Structures are given as structure tokens and as C-alpha cells.
Amino acid sequence: MEPNLLKGHLDLILLSILEGGPMYGLEISKQAQVETDGYFDLRVGSLYPALHRLEQSGAVEGEFRPAPRGGAPVKYYWLTEDGQRLLARKREDFRTFSTHLQALGRRYEGRG
């Protein structure tokens, strides 16, 4: 995947995954890979800064909980009400963008 495309839609991806319930970073990354047949490969260098930013904005909350297999606690994240509203707006923005982009594609099909 083109890295700039991922960066532009990372919040939408993360919020969509967290809509399913609380998860920690590695789970979020694995969920993205599983649900997209490996198309989204969320790297630590982009995943955690984005989660931190979403937490600072109030879209997600997080807390440390025991790790599922023992060991050091891991930070679980989940959507807040603000996060659910943000997700709905981002989905609508993406639908609008996609619709207009497809319209451009149809307009120029066959030229070339």
C-alpha cells in the first residue's frame, strides 16, 4: 500500500477497528492485517503515535491492563462517545471523497 494513503486514513482505520471493542496495540495491528488480507500493515512507528493523538483528542481512552498471556501490562484502547461521532464523520467524509473520485474515473475512462 502507498504509505501516504495509509497516513491519510490511519485514524479512520484505527477507529473502525476499535469500534469492535477494547484492544491493545498488537491486537489492533493484527486485526487490521486479518480483516484486510494483509493490505494494512500498521507499523509501531505510526500506530502508537496515532493512538496517542486520538487519546489526547478524546476520541479514544486507554488504560494499562494485565497482558493476555502474562508479563508486563499492556495498554488497551477503546472508543469514547466522541470517538464514535468522529468515526461516523470520517466514514461519511471518506464516502463523499470516494464517490467524487470514482466520478472522475468514470469521466476519464477510455481516454488515453
Whole-prediction pTM: 0.87
Give the per-residue pLDDT at 57.
Answer: 98
Q: How far apart are CA 88 and CA 77, in angstroms?
A: 18
Give the per-residue pLDDT at 68.
Answer: 87
Q: Which domains does the chain have, with CATH numbers?
A: 3-108 (1.10.10.10)
Flag residues of the chain having pLDDT under 50.
none
Give the per-residue pLDDT at 111.
Answer: 67
pLDDT in tens, 5-34: 667 799 999 999 999 999 999 999 999 999
Q: How far apart are CA 26 and CA 74, in angstroms?
A: 9
DSSP 70: S
